[in-house]
C-alpha cells in the first residue's frame, strides 16, 4: 500500500499483543488520532471546528435539559426530526438522527456491507471511512483523487463491482475542500446500480458558495438508493455534543436505525440542535464570516504561489507530499496547529481572525525555505 492509501491493514506490533482473541483486522487498525491539543498560545486548526462559542440560545437549551439527566433521552429524537422534516419538506420518517454523522456513517455501512462486501470511496477523504468499513467486516475500495484533489467520479463508477454495497461521496471533500458538481453527480448516479447505497456526505454543505455544487436533498425523490448526511458539528458549532442527521428513503433509514446503538443521541444534543435551527440566521452570519476569511486566505496563498485546491469547506488543503513533516514544523513554529496527513499534506481549518497573519507568514516561509514543497510546481491535470 502506498502512503496515500488508507492504512487499515497494518499488523499490530508484537509488544501490542492483545491478551484475548480479537478480529485481526480490528487489531490492525490505526488508533484514531484526534486533532492535536495546541500549545496555549497556538491556534488549534486541526479539527474543522468553528472558532465561535455556542450561541446564547444553545447554552440555555443545554442547561434546561440538565434537571432531566436521570431520564433517558427520546431515542427517536422526534422533536428534532419533526423540525428537520418540516424544513426539508419531507415526513419525519425520512429523517434519522444520530450521535454525529460519523455514527450514521457507521450504521449505514454496517447495515449494507458485511464480510466480503465492498465499499467504494474517494481517497484521500474522511479518515473515518476505511476504519468504519473494516469494523463492519467489509472491504474498503479507495479510489485516488484527481491531481486537483477532487473526486474521480469516472474511476469511482468503474470501481463498482457486484460485491459493492455502498459508495461514499464526500462534498466538499475533507480534507481537500473540493466539491462535486450537480451535473457530474447526476450523471454519476445513473452509473450506480439502483440497489447500491450511495452515501452523500455533506458535512460542510453550509460553507459551500459555489453555485455549481451538488445539494443532494432535491435528488432524493428520484433516487431511493441515495442518502444525504448532514451534521451540527461544523457550521452549527456543536461538535462537542455529537449530533448529525440523515435524510433519505424511509426503508433505507429503517435499516440504519436497526443497526444503531439505542439511545445514543442525548437530550442536550437534541435540544441544542433545535436551538441552533431556531437561530439559523445567526448561524448563517457566522458561516459568512468563515467563508469570507477562507476565500481571502485562499487568494492570498495563491498569490504567494501555492496551489490550493478549490476550498468550499471551512478549511484549506496544503498538498505537500513528502515535504509534509518539514512544512508542518514551520506551521507549528508559527503557532498554527493543522491536521497532518503523513506523506500527503496538511489541512488547516479557518479559525480566529488572529490566526490569519501567522498562517500566511508560515506559508510564505515554507515557500522560501522549502521550495520543493511548493505544490504549484507540480503539474495539475
Ligand X SMILES: *Cc1c(COP(=O)(O)O)cnc(C)c1O
Residues 81-100, one symbol each (x = binds ligand X by CB under 6 A, - = not), give -------------------x
Minimal CB distance to ligand X: which residue?
A: 100
Number of Cβ within 10 Å of residue 19's Cβ equals 5
CB 343 within 8 A of CB 321: yes
Member of 121, 134, 164, 201 binding ligand X (CB under 6 A): 201
| Closer by beta carbon to ligand X, 349 or else 362 | 349
Measured between alpha carbons, how far is 48 from 332 in angstroms, rounded to an integer? Answer: 17
Please tell me whether residue 314 adopts helix, strand or coil conformation: coil
| Closer by beta carbon to ligand X, 237 or else 335 | 237
Shortest separation between residue 375's beta carbon and ligand X, angstroms: 22
Measured between alpha carbons, how far is 248 from 250 in angstroms, rounded to an integer? Answer: 6
Angle at 317 between CA 242 and CA 11, to 5 degrees: 70
Shortest separation between residue 113's beta carbon and ligand X, angstroms: 18
Cell of 309: 485546491
| Closer by beta carbon to ligand X, 104 or else 320 | 104
| Closer by beta carbon to ligand X, 111 or else 360 | 111
Shortest separation between residue 297's beta carbon and ligand X, angstroms: 19
Shortest separation between residue 55's beta carbon and ligand X, angstroms: 18
Say if residue 309 is exposed, middle or buried (CB neighbours under 10 Å; 0-12, 13-18, 19+): buried
Could you give the angle at which helices 280-304 and 267-278 cross, rounded to 10 degrees? Answer: 80
Measured between alpha carbons, how far is 244 from 102 in angstroms, rounded to an integer? Answer: 8
Phi, psi of 92 (to 5 degrees): -60, -25
Site for ligand X in 96-125 (CB under 6 A): 100-102
| Closer by beta carbon to ligand X, 11 or else 262 | 262
| Closer by beta carbon to ligand X, 238 or else 297 | 238
Member of 6, 130, 149, 244 binding ligand X (CB under 6 A): 244
Shortest separation between residue 28's beta carbon and ligand X, angstroms: 23
Cα dihedral value 228, 76, 79, 58, nearest 10: -80
Instruction: Choose one: 230-238, 274-282, 322-330, 350-358; the region binding ligand X (CB under 6 A).
Output: 230-238
| Closer by beta carbon to ligand X, 125 or else 324 | 125
Shortest separation between residue 138's beta carbon and ligand X, angstroms: 18
Member of 233, 266, 291, 328 binding ligand X (CB under 6 A): 233
Residue with cell 491493514: 9
- Tell me: does residue 231 bind ligand X (CB under 6 A): yes
Shortest separation between residue 277's beta carbon and ligand X, angstroms: 15
Strands 139-144 and 118-123 turn out to be: parallel
Shortest separation between residue 52's beta carbon and ligand X, angstroms: 16
Helix H or strand E segment including 290: helix 280-304
Measured between alpha carbons, how far is 132 from 8 in angstroms, rounded to an integer? Answer: 10
| Closer by beta carbon to ligand X, 101 or else 355 | 101
Cell of 133: 468499513
Angle at 4 between CA 153 and CA 316, to 5 degrees: 75
Please tell me whether residue 107 adopts helix, strand or coil conformation: helix
Please spell the DSSP secondary structure of 139-178, one letter per residue: EEEEEEPPTTS---HHHHHHT--TTEEEEEEESSPTTT--
Determine if the peptide bond prior to 175 is cis (ω within 30°). Answer: yes
- Tell me: does residue 174 bind ligand X (CB under 6 A): yes
Instruction: Choose one: 83-91, 206-214, 227-235, 301-309; the region binding ligand X (CB under 6 A).
Output: 227-235
Residues 36-65, one symbol each (x = binds ligand X by CB under 6 A, - = not), give ------------x-----------------
- Tell me: does residue 170 bind ligand X (CB under 6 A): yes
Member of 121, 123, 126, 185 binding ligand X (CB under 6 A): 126
Shortest separation between residue 14's beta carbon and ligand X, angstroms: 34
Residues that bind ligand X (CB under 6 A): 48, 100-102, 126, 170, 174, 201, 203, 231, 233-234, 239, 244
Amino acid at each position: 500500500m502506498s502512503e496515500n492509501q488508507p492504512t487499515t491493514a497494518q499488523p499490530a506490533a508484537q509488544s501490542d499483543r492483545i491478551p484475548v482473541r480479537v478480529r485481526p483486522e480490528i487489531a490492525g487498525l490505526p488508533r484514531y488520532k484526534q486533532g492535536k491539543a495546541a500549545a496555549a498560545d497556538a491556534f488549534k486548526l486541526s479539527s474543522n471546528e468553528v472558532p465561535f462559542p455556542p450561541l446564547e440560545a444553545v447554552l440555555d437549551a443545554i442547561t434546561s435539559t440538565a434537571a432531566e439527566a436521570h431520564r433517558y433521552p427520546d431515542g427517536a429524537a422526534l422533536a428534532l426530526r419533526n423540525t428537520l422534516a418540516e424544513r426539508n419538506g419531507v415526513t419525519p420518517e425520512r429523517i434519522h438522527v444520530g450521535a454525529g454523522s460519523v455514527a450514521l456513517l457507521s450504521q449505514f455501512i454496517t447495515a449494507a456491507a458485511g464480510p466480503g462486501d465492498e465499499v467504494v470511496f474517494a481517497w484521500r477523504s474522511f479518515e473515518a471511512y476505511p476504519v468504519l468499513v473494516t469494523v463492519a467486516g467489509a472491504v474498503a475500495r479507495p479510489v485516488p483523487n484527481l491531481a486537483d484533489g477532487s473526486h474521480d467520479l469516472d474511476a469511482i463508477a468503474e470501481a463498482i463491482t457486484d460485491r459493492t454495497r455502498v459508495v461514499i461521496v464526500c462534498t466538499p471533500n475533507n480534507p481537500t475542500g473540493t466539491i462535486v458538481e450537480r451535473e457530474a453527480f447526476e450523471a454519476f448516479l445513473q452509473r450506480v446500480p439502483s440497489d447500491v447505497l450511495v452515501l452523500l456526505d455533506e458535512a460542510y454543505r453550509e460553507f459551500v458558495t459555489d453555485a455549481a455544487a451538488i445539494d443532494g436533498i432535491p435528488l432524493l425523490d428520484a433516487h431511493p438508493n441515495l442518502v444525504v448526511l448532514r451534521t451540527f458539528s461544523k457550521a452549527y458549532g456543536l461538535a462537542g455534543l455529537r449530533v448529525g442527521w440523515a435524510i433519505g428513503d424511509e426503508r433505507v433509514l429503517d435499516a440504519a436505525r436497526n443497526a444503531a446503538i439505542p439511545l445514543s443521541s442525548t437530550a442536550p444534543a437534541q435540544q441544542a440542535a433545535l436551538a441552533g435551527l431556531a437561530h439559523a440566521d445567526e448561524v448563517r452570519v457566522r458561516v459568512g464570516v468563515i467563508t469570507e476569511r477562507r476565500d481571502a486566505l485562499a487568494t492570498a496563498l495563491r498569490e504567494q504561489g501555492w496551489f490550493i485546491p478549490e476550498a468550499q469547506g471551512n478549511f484549506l488543503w496544503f498538498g505537500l507530499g513528502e515535504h509534509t513533516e518539514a512544512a508542518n514544523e514551520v506551521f507549528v513554529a508559527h503557532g498554527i496547529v493543522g491536521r497532518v496527513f503523513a506523506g500527503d499534506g496538511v489541512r488547516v481549518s479557518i479559525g480566529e481572525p488572529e490566526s490569519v497573519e501567522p498562517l500566511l507568514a508560515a506559508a510564505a516561509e515554507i515557500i522560501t525555505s522549502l521550495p520543493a514543497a511548493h505544490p504549484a510546481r507540480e503539474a495539475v491535470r
